[in-house]
Structure 1
Amino acid sequence: PHLSGGETVTKIMWKVSASLLPAVAVGVYIFGVRALLVVVVSVAAAMLTEFFFLKIRKLDTTRVLDGSAALTGLILALTLPPTLPLFAVIMGAVVAIALGKQIFGGLGNNIFNPALVGRAFLAATYPVFMTTWSNPNYWKALQKVDAINVATPLANFKFEQKLAPSAKLLFGTIAGSIGETSVVALLVGAVYLLYKKYINWRMPVGYLGTVLVISGIMRLISDKYPTPTFMILAGGLILGAFYIATDPVTTPFTNKGIWIFSFGAGVLVILIRIFGGLPEGVLFSILFMNTLTPVINKWTQPKVFGHDG
């Protein structure tokens, strides 16, 4: 996310990364130092991969400090289980930069959100590791997080029809990815992004609003469906709405296009979470809509006077 308002892209990238520090801090507090290790390794691997590609392409290697690779590594880390082996973290970060970004020509040319490409790769290659969660053990210096098969709130509802309390979802005292568990921590950063106008407010409003309205209607139809509050607070929806779907490179550049994108992504989240085989749908909802961005841009771009179509 980097809607420029006079600031350089580099400054904005680093400020967006800084806005995620509350989520990182809460994740480390809840899951222990192992979560911090995952974050550090992911960011470092992403930046080293970026440096490698800049070097072999004979480009200015100082561009590794523009903040884009670090932000990709950080967002990727926040979507990962704290128990994920470090070799897998490294592979995810390498794929995110190499196949999600550099293969398309670097910053500004990628079709898909790089962090989601890395996470999709890990979900496909290490499905057991990526679905092995741990209970919050809170900060215990140098203690390794125990990798046990604890269900996330979305999985609990999907397979057992159990709804987690909203308070636990708000403050992150649940099993889940490092940065997806605490909604409050994410919203602290999101408010900053909105205040600085680094993101287009229409994307999170459209994305969250679609999920809220459709899930509300479904809950009125039957109690077997989750509450709208649960659908908004559980899983990676808040992280996705404010930090991933708002990436201007992989999402539409017109306001009308953003409404279309956000509505489509919201519908897909509902379809996958409630009717699909997976508990979570944020990853695939955004990646799928990324593929439609060029088409949406073509549909919604303003007509140029004197040109047809």
Structure 2
Amino acid sequence: MDLTILYRGPLASCDYDCPYCPFAKRRDTPGRLRADRAALERFTGWAAGPARTGDRLSVLFTPWGEGLVRSWYRRALVELSHQPHVERVAIQTNLSCRTDWLAEADPATVALWCTYHPGQTPYERFLAKVRDLADRGVRHSVGIVGLPGNLAHARRLRAELPGHVYLWVNAAEGHTYTDEEAAAWTALDPLFPYSRHPHRSAGLPCRTGESVVSVDGDGTVRRCHFVRTELGNLYDGSYRAALAPRPCPLSVCDCHIGYVHLETLPLYDVFAGGVLERIPAAPEPTPLTLSRRPAP
């Protein structure tokens, strides 16, 4: 079985205090951290276990908080990167952690989805870590939230990032872009139009629930993070019987980790080989690459 898993455990704390994030500077209790560690170690044991050798797995960790400042997330990425049946293991991160631990991971399998948050970390420190990832041969993308005050930072990043590193831009939640504003962001990220507007999804075919699932710390399996209907449990195997093609039940999908799996969008071709870590197949994607335009 080929299966992509988006894992999100109990962790909900972050070392940054971004004003647009509800988890900014939130502290988990020691008990919650212990629960998160136990849940992640259980998941890692399942994914690396002998029963999985007949499967092909891809895993993206999408914690509400910052995972890589916790040793158990670093260990999980290292361990899973060396499993022959794991094609990719990736995590969303603000890159505030050190990067030397990646020397123990398999660079052919591990990947980072990095976000730069201006005002939360010195620019040169962030850029140095990104360059270290490039020197180590670790697959990674770098992105920023498309707030008006971030435009100059994004332009500087694009000018100074290694040429092969994709710079993505997420449309800011609740922000409406004029065509002129959108053009400025699209000049930096040619795929920004996909993020600018929510995608109509009701009744449309989506890979979630068939080859892509969401898993929480208890092992509850859902089709994605945004649909609460349960498909079963990972650890008793009850989810397997529920895997099947199914249309999206929501009216719109406005998050990249959701709409990237819509079959009506060409994003599996655009990100071929790099869907989880958000790395396009072409080193410098252009609008001309896209076979279909996103619908507002």
Specify the TM-score bucket, using the shorter chain as the normaliser. Answer: under 0.3
- TM-score of the pair, normalised by structure 2: 0.28
Q: More helix per residue: 1 or 2?
A: 1
Q: Choose between structure 1 and 2 for higher RCO, CA contacts under 8 A separated by at least 6 residues.
A: 1
